[in-house]
Structure 1
């Protein structure tokens, strides 16, 4: 009877859930080129509109 209890305890102990946290091997990269490109284009367009409105082209 004691053998069954020990065996059952070992089986139940082997089924305990474990959580493992591992750092990634490669660095995490976030690509922000699209937003930056749109922001730069907006500023250039606004500056061009101001220049065209204040200065004669020809």
Structure 2
């Protein structure tokens, strides 16, 4: 025989309506992405500068 807790849960589920309504928000959803790419750019520039110096050691 099921416990009273299980019977109560089943009764609660049966009382829920079968239809769910989802409404779109009035205002648009805004997602702000503040991405800092400065570190990667500096790293790439430093790597390129290092390669240029290595390739042209005679002019530096």
TM-score of the superposed pair, with normalisation by structure 2: 0.44
* Structure having greater relative contact order (Cα 8 Å, sep ≥ 6): 2
TM-score of the superposed pair, with normalisation by structure 1: 0.45
